[in-house]
Amino acid sequence: MDFSLLRSFIAVAEEKSFSTAAKHLFISQQTLSKQIAKIEEELDTVLLVRSRPLALTPDGKHFLKVAKEILQLKQQFEESSSRSISRSHFIHMGIEHTIARALLPHVLPKYVDEHPDTYVKVSEESPDMLQKAIVYEGVDLVIGSLCNVPDNYVTVPLCPKEYVLIVPKNILRDIAGDKYESTVENYKDGVDLGFFQCAPFIRLSRRVSGGRALSSYLKYYDVAVRFVCEVTNVENAFQLANSGLGLFIYPRIFWDMMAPELQRDYLNNIHIFPLPHLPEIEPVCAYYNKESGIHGKNLELLEQIKYYFNDYMQQLKGTSEE
């Protein structure tokens, strides 16, 4: 059985658009259209009314329910199969790439040590893909920064996302001149983005949370900056800033969770200046489907993740009060 056809149909039915569903599935619209036509041919019925937006026929509504049930049964079988082979419980978690780097080394080893009978599958994806992962990929729990969260998701806030400004030392020397040292001292507790308006900046795509955050900061400071390049991966952007290419805003939690020896190496090339917290910036949250809920080993993992972020926030509060 080709389960990808079922996922394709569910995507089209949920999005009510071939083009939007095709983007989420990373296939061409033509390929997706052929897949749906193949299902209709095999079932000898029409599932979709090709209107704008697309609509489901009565058979289409019934098949949507059946398709979801089949994929749920497939997931249950895979979990059962994993237990029969490794005698373990099975958890499938989706997590945003960069949050995974900050979070997993601090949570997963402890969790697995305390739950030796549990097998954890981690899917590291972009926010856009995570938003669809619960519906299309059988993910039980998602950790990330998502916008436009569907109504059928339960959202559990974990941590506000604060940012820092990464300033290459070579660029600051060019801008500040003989006031270099005093500028570093003035901005160690908070930076004025307007001061760097003439500096080159590295842009993140607005498809990722960091790109949307940068837009919020530019609006907050009411400045327009000069971009020298655009990337989609926050870690690539950080490395480019470290190389001296341009300024970049970086989630504070990613910097805080970095190994101290790595921080010391990076601080040979860059300065880290705090930026004010903006409430409109998407926080790090946990998400799961209302219908399936969260329980058992998944709930225990979520509780450990919540504890980790709570501990991090307490440390952050303690640092700011010193």
The reported pTM is 0.69
Give the pLDDT mean for 57-67: 91
Which has more pLDDT, 125 or 242? 242
Q: What is the CATH number of the domain that holds 130?
A: 3.40.190.10
pLDDT value at 140 more than 90: no
Clarify whether residues 299 and 154 are in a common domain.
Answer: yes
Dmax (CA) for the chain in angstroms is: 78
Predicted confidence band at 171 (pLDDT cuts at 50, 70, 90)? very high
Number of domains in the chain: 3
Could you tell me the residue range of the domain that residue 112 belongs to? 88-159+283-322
Predicted confidence band at 295 (pLDDT cuts at 50, 70, 90)? confident
pLDDT value at 321 more than 70: no
Strand partners for 90: 119
Clarify whether residues 22 and 101 are in a common domain.
Answer: no
Q: What is the DSSP code string of 226-278?
A: EEEEEES-HHHHHHHHHTTS-BEEEEHHHHHTS-HHHHHHHTTTEEEEE----
Give the pLDDT mean for 49-69: 89
Q: 67, 98, 119: which is the final residue of a domain?
A: 67
Distances (CA, A) of 32 to 61, 68, 81, 136: 19, 18, 30, 15
Q: What is the DSSP code string of 197-233?
A: TTSEEEEEPTTSHHHHHHHHHHHHHT---EEEEEES-
CA distance 1 to 112: 33
Residue 76 belongs to a domain: no
Predicted confidence band at 132 (pLDDT cuts at 50, 70, 90)? low
CA distance 5 to 194: 51
Helices H, strands E: what count in the chain? Answer: 13, 12
Clarify whether residues 186 and 266 are in a common domain.
Answer: yes
Q: Angle, nearest 10°, between helix axes 97-114 and 234-242?
A: 110
- What does the pLDDT look like over 96-114, one tens digit per residue? 887 888 889 989 999 989 8
Which residue is it, tokens 């549990």? 118
Q: What is the DSSP code string of 47-63?
A: -EE-SSS-EE-HHHHHH
